[in-house]
Amino acid sequence: MAGDTLTSGEYIKHHLTNLAFGKHPDGSWGLAHNAEEAKEMGFMAIHVDTMFWSIFLGILMLWVLRRVAVNATSGVPGKLQNFAEMLVEFIDSSVRGSFTGQNSMVAPLSLTIFIWIFLQNLMDLVPVDLIPYVLGDPGIGLAHFMKVVPTTDPNATFGMAFGVFFLVLYYSIKIKGVGGFAGELTLQPFNHWAFIPVNFILEFVSLIAKPISLALRLFGNMYAGEMIFILIALMYSGGIALGLFGGILQLGWAIFHILIITLQAFIFMTLAIVYLDMAHHEH
């Protein structure tokens, strides 16, 4: 597909365009047929591919975990149960090392965050042309645009980051009270009423930076990784020699990328634990 009907620039732009659903300028609702139509739909456009793959992977995660729980045995565990137990122990040790408060929700939340983000990142190892080809015009005609890595869409990463952020706000107010939380924003680091405006600006920036850093770190790393896969895919249209070289590069980058997708899921989970720990304690 890389060199059949599209130029290199058009090919890259095609793979970086989401399947958007929204309101057209004429008032009708439907899917965008190109990047310009998606842009005209504005902020309220729904990225159908991001929604589908993130929800599908979430349901897949829940189904597998439920299957493990239902079939769990106290005897010799199967391979799937053994892997799930190792994963739970890994997450539990991470929570114990970073979270010093008392909250039974943090460990299950951390497990959910890690597995869900890892599965979304794992879609980056699927060849960039495979699923769009099957679902696009040459296939069953479902969608011409199809970004299958939800974490390359800032809407998905910001959605998850703000979910963690709202929990941080909730527990900050629940544990410390409205007055205690307001005091942290206005009386730190300078404990004097005259510095309340300065304190608020400093602490508010620090507070807002938490979800922004969570979202942009995950998005930036996954977007860059996907871009490299797209650039490598372009090499297949340059002849046999360049195509073989591209295949070697793709294999090497895919192996290295396994570390990246795992590390990004772990970093997001760890920072979520740390932020929740900060919410459970005084400044």
Q: Report yes or no: 237 and 3 within 8 Å, Cβ to Cβ.
A: yes
71, 82, 206, 213: which one is catalytic?
213
- Sequence-ordered list of residues with C-beta below 8 angstroms from that of 232, at least 6 positions apart, any chain: 246, 249, 250, 253
Whether 67 is catalytic is no
Whether 71 is catalytic is no
Q: Strand locations in the chain, DSSP E?
A: 20-23, 29-31, 46-47
Q: Report yes or no: 114 and 269 within 8 Å, Cβ to Cβ.
A: yes
Tell me the three state secondary structure of residue 47.
strand
- Sequence-ordered list of residues with C-beta below 8 angstroms from that of 163, at least 6 positions apart, any chain: none
The two three-digit tokens of residue 131, written as one number: 């699923």
8, 34, 217, 237: which one is catalytic?
217
How far apart CA 140 and CA 185 sit, in angstroms, is 55
Q: Report yes or no: 64 and 83 within 8 Å, Cβ to Cβ.
A: no
Residue with tokens 């009708």: 28
Report the helix count and the strand count for the chain, using DSSP H and E: 9, 3
The two three-digit tokens of residue 109, written as one number: 């939340």
Whether 213 is catalytic is yes
Q: Mind telling me the catalytic residues?
A: 213, 217, 221
